Amino acid sequence: MTTTRFIFITGGVVSSLGKGLGSAALGALLQARGYSVRLCKLDPYLNVDPGTMSPFQHGEVFVTDDGAETDLDLGHYERFTGVPATQSDNVTTGRIYLNVLNKERKGDYLGATIQVIPHITNEIKDFIREKDGTADFVMCEIGGTVGDIESLPFLEAIRQFGNEVGSARSLFLHVTLLPYIPAAGELKTKPTQHSVKELMSAGIRPKVLLCRADRDIEEDELHKIALFCNIDEKKVIPALDAKSIYDVPVRYHKEGLDTEVLDYFELPNEGDVDLSTWENISKRIHDPEDEVTIGVVGKYTNLADSYKSLNEALTHGGIANNVKVHIKFIEASIFDGHANDIVQELDGVDGILVPGGFGERGSEGKIKAAQFARERKIPYFGICFGLQMAILEAARNLANIDDANSTEFSEGGTHLVGLMTEWVKGNARQERTSDDDLGGTMRLGAFPAKLAEGSKVAEIYGCTEISERHRHRYEVNINYKDQLEEAGFFFSGLSPDGKLPEICERRDHPWFIGVQYHPELKSKPFDPHPLFTSFIKAALDQSRLV
Ligand code: GLN
């Protein structure tokens, strides 16, 4: 069996330090050294999973192949390592308590008094321990900031776990911040010292420090941190702001992150490491040949994190075509009722993308964006909700179904988009009804689809059988296929049983594709999703037309 080494990543001083990114980059570096890695995230909040959390507060919900709604950091892990995340790679305090309370109700604890230590901490340790033997390195990121009340059971659990497997198999890595104080003209190390002290008071001694800063850290500052925090000086690693997140693996390697991690575990750490994949990605990002602008007509547009994977997938499409992709976020609800604003906002974009979304607000604007793209022959990419809105647009304006609507926001009208109460996944039948719990009614995770021979999507994918990840409650109603095909929509991708439309494309348009799934979730900088590569190419062609 593989000897697994565990790396625990904590964060101090402030949140949003890029712990997830740092973990993902370290994962990529260890892979480049020839090791297998697995990354997981322990989140201290009380929600059972992020599925029902607002993207405004918590950023996007990342969906795995096995249908888990997880923290967006799992998206970073996949984009940097290519290892598909699973349900068992993300856990929250809420889930841990739910498991413990379920066991208590079943009598599994034989009447014992249930306590944070040992019951909650044991449950957390079980979550970590089940990964033993699955990779050379298992990396566990602890969400939140050291010192938060919510993090304490997690810190206690990883402390115990570290003791149980021993220091030869466990490493504590702490990510911290050195703020720059303009009046003093220097970076300050005191918050880092305090944060390490706080971690030590939980019984955890970090052995590697990743120090975030917005400028060079002087030698004597590194020396001071090493001295006060009781850490080997070489293992105090500067982690300066990078222009692109994809520069991070190479940057951290140059600062010695992977070398020092391997040194800690007494593993070979010399010789050349081939990081050419990452170097090439950085080169394409910083030195593109051209540029395109994509208008993203959405709802959570004031917070880039709510469309994290989408933004990254567009960047990957740019990498594939060696162009810079500018994203122009357009709040869909500003279009509700004002047709003229659309012309103003969308004029000049090279492609229009309507991403996934929920609820009625902004839906009319998205429908108008689809109409604008169709009529002006501008490349249109509809993702999930973006497909549904394009279907409503064609039904209303081309198929004479004036009251075409979705059951999501209208009880009346003709429901071209509606709730399917059952469908088939493999041999198991799943059922959804409108009164199920909000968290449990969606079509979630990977589902296969068959693509029509000779369709544009079959050409783009280069095959006719695909598997993509879903997260939605409603479906385009297959019973309207004939009418929609007459209105120019070709149903080029269907579920294997032929009941669920997965892809619709327009044949009277240079690039107009709507998909019911979320292709952005599987795109990687070193393996851009073919639909994004093709969409950016179409946008580039469009930009050269004008
Ligand atoms: N709201 C739509 C549905 O539930 C689309 C969801 C999405 O875009 N992810 O079907």
**Three-class SS string for 226-254?**
HHHHCCCHHHEEEEECCCCHHHHHHHHHH
Q: Determine the length of the chain.
A: 546
Substitution candidate for ligand 1 out of 61, 405, 473, 502 with most atoms within 8 A of CB: 473
Substitution candidate for ligand 1 out of 360, 471, 502 with most atoms within 8 A of CB: 471
Beta bridge partners of 357: none
Q: Do domains 5-93+131-280 and 288-545 have the same CATH topology?
A: yes
CB distance 266 to 230 below 8 Å: no
Q: How confident is the model at residue 48, as a pLDDT?
A: 86
- Specify the 3-state DSSP secondary structure of 492: strand
Q: For residue 355, report the distance from its CA to the centre of ligand 1, in Å.
A: 9
Q: For residue 306, report the distance from its CA to the centre of ligand 1, in Å.
A: 14
Is 520 annotated in the active site? Answer: yes
Q: Could you tell me how many helices (H) and strands (E) the chain has, helices first?
A: 18, 25
Q: What is the chain's pLDDT, residue by residue, as a tens digit (546 residues)?
A: 789 999 999 998 888 888 999 999 999 999 999 999 999 999 998 888 877 777 667 778 899 999 999 888 999 999 999 999 999 999 999 999 999 999 999 999 998 999 999 999 999 999 999 999 999 999 999 999 998 999 999 999 999 999 999 999 999 999 999 999 999 899 999 999 999 999 999 999 999 999 999 999 999 999 999 999 999 999 999 999 999 999 999 999 999 999 999 999 999 988 889 999 999 999 999 999 999 999 999 886 566 778 899 999 999 999 999 999 999 998 888 766 665 677 788 889 999 999 998 888 888 889 999 999 999 999 999 999 999 999 999 999 999 999 999 988 878 888 889 877 533 344 344 455 545 544 447 889 999 999 999 999 999 999 999 999 999 999 999 989 999 999 999 999 999 989 899 999 999 999 999 999 999 999 999 999 999 999 999 999 999 886
Residue nearest to atom 8 of ligand 1 (CA): 356
Cα 384 from Cα 298, distance rounded (Å): 12
**Residue found under tokens 């500067």:** 238
Degrees (nearest 5) of the Cα angle 293, 294, 298? 145
Catalytic annotation, pick one of 470, 502, 520, 529: 520
CB distance 193 to 201 below 8 Å: no
Cα 371 from Cα 394, distance rounded (Å): 8
Alpha helices in 166-307 (DSSP H): 190-201, 219-229, 248-254, 257-264, 276-286
Domain ranges of the chain: 5-93+131-280, 288-545
Q: How confident is the model at residue 375, as a pLDDT?
A: 95
Q: Which atom of ligand 1 is nearest to the CA of 356?
A: 8
Q: How confident is the model at residue 8, as a pLDDT?
A: 98
Residue nearest to atom 5 of ligand 1 (CA): 385
Substitution candidate for ligand 1 out of 297, 306, 383, 385 with most atoms within 8 A of CB: 385
Using the Cα atoms of residue 440, residue 446, residue 448 and residue 453 in order, give the sign of their dihedral.
Answer: positive
Residue nearest to atom 7 of ligand 1 (CA): 356
Q: How confident is the model at residue 440, as a pLDDT?
A: 46
Given its phi and psi angles, is residue 426 left (phi above 0), alpha (psi -120 to 50 degrees) or beta? left
> Using CA atoms in the order 471, 474, 478, 481, what is the torsion angle rounded to 10 degrees?
-90
Q: What is the pTM of this model?
A: 0.92
CATH (one of 3.40.1190.20, 2.60.120.380, 3.40.50.300, 3.30.110.40) for 5-93+131-280? 3.40.50.300
Q: For residue 60, report the distance from its CA to the centre of ligand 1, in Å.
A: 13
Residue nearest to atom 10 of ligand 1 (CA): 474
Q: For residue 349, report the distance from its CA to the centre of ligand 1, in Å.
A: 25
Q: Which atom of ligand 1 is nearest to the CA of 408?
A: 1
CATH (one of 3.30.70.260, 1.10.1040.10, 3.40.50.880, 3.40.50.620) for 288-545? 3.40.50.880
CB distance 285 to 250 below 8 Å: no
DSSP 8-state assignment for residue 83: P
Phi, psi (degrees; rounded to nearest 5) at 393: -60, -50
Residue nearest to atom 6 of ligand 1 (CA): 472
CB distance 313 to 291 below 8 Å: no
- Specify the 3-state DSSP secondary structure of 307: helix
- Residue 67 to residues 58, 382, 442, Cα–Cα distance (Å): 19, 22, 10
Question: What stretches of 477-525 adopt beta strand conformation (E)?
Answer: 489-494, 501-506, 512-515
Is 384 annotated in the active site? Answer: yes
Q: Which atom of ligand 1 is nearest to the CA of 384?
A: 8
Q: Which atom of ligand 1 is nearest to the CA of 442?
A: 4
Cα 419 from Cα 434, distance rounded (Å): 8
Q: Which atom of ligand 1 is nearest to the CA of 383?
A: 8
Q: For residue 367, report the distance from its CA to the centre of ligand 1, in Å.
A: 14
Q: How confident is the model at residue 53, as a pLDDT?
A: 74
CB distance 529 to 82 below 8 Å: no
Q: Which residues of 358-373 are buried (b: 16+ CB within 10 A; e: fewer)?
A: beeebbbbbbbbbbbb
Q: For residue 498, report the distance from its CA to the centre of ligand 1, in Å.
A: 20
Cα 82 from Cα 138, distance rounded (Å): 15
Which amino acids bring their CB within 6 angstroms of ligand 1?
356-358, 384-385, 408, 471-474
Catalytic annotation, pick one of 312, 384, 468, 472: 384
Residue nearest to atom 1 of ligand 1 (CA): 358
Q: Which atom of ligand 1 is nearest to the CA of 474?
A: 10
Q: How confident is the model at residue 432, as a pLDDT?
A: 52
Q: Whose CA is closest to 34, among 262, 254, 279?
A: 262
**Residue found under tokens 């122009």:** 328
Q: How confident is the model at residue 347, as a pLDDT?
A: 87
